[in-house]
Amino acid sequence: MKKSQEKALYSIPGWEKFVSEYEREFSSFEEAREFAHNLKLNGESDWRKWNKSGSRPDNIPYQPNRTYKSFWVSWGDFLGTGNIANQNKKFLSFEETKRNVHKLGMRTQREWQKYSRSSKRPDNIPNDPSGVYKNKGWTNWGDFLGTGNRSNHNRKYRSFEESRKFAHNLKLDGARAWNEWRKSGKKPDDIPTNPARTYKDSGWISWGDFLGTGNVRGHAL
């Protein structure tokens, strides 16, 4: 590089600091990691805040993930938190994870979320299975939890006429009775929970018509 070019570069604001950062002799990765562990920081964002405080020694790099690229594992490893980004973790296969989850007997996604945030979840099972196992076997939460439940937009229901015929045989007297019945666990998967919504544009008239009571009006679910 010509002296004139070098002089021009050093005239750029911040360039001198950038060059000195890479000309500096830093501590070894192991020494820097031991130093970082003693800071008791919780993550990369805490490290950046600490950097701005002016407390960082000259022999500790501002961006250790770049300076120690050949040794770098994760921020969790460097800071000593034990946290590792999902893409760097080694999880069980989808089928292995699913078999383990089925044994837990969870029924809903909300139950899973509570469990995944607890200390009971092993490190080799991801907290976001739908993301980690996308294109690796994931279909839906019902399949993953072992309940067989699927989201409404993925279900195939009976036709309106078939569902109405089924509902007539239940001898229910209104929407409230239907609501109690469908919570009993006796409802087949191909009968919708809320037929008024499901069949809104495909035959629905009223609860009286659907249940066979003859009443035109009825309470909504």
Tens-digit pLDDT profile for the chain (221 aa)? 444 544 454 455 554 444 444 446 888 888 998 999 889 888 888 899 998 998 999 899 989 998 888 888 788 888 887 655 555 567 889 999 999 998 888 888 888 888 888 878 887 888 889 888 888 888 888 888 887 655 555 568 899 999 999 999 999 999 999 988 888 878 888 888 889 988 998 999 999 999 998 765 544 45
What 3 state SS string does the chain have? Answer: CCHHHHHHHHCCCCHHHHHHHHHCCCCCHHHHHHHHHCCCCCCHHHHHHHHHCCCCCCCCCCCHHHHCCCCCCCHHHHHCCCCCCHHHCCCCCHHHHHHHHHCCCCCCHHHHHHHHCCCCCCCCCCCCHHHHCCCCCCCCHHHHHCCCCCCHHHCCCCCHHHHHHHHHCCCCCCHHHHHHHHCCCCCCCCCCCCHHHHCCCCCCCCHHHHHCCCCCCCCCC
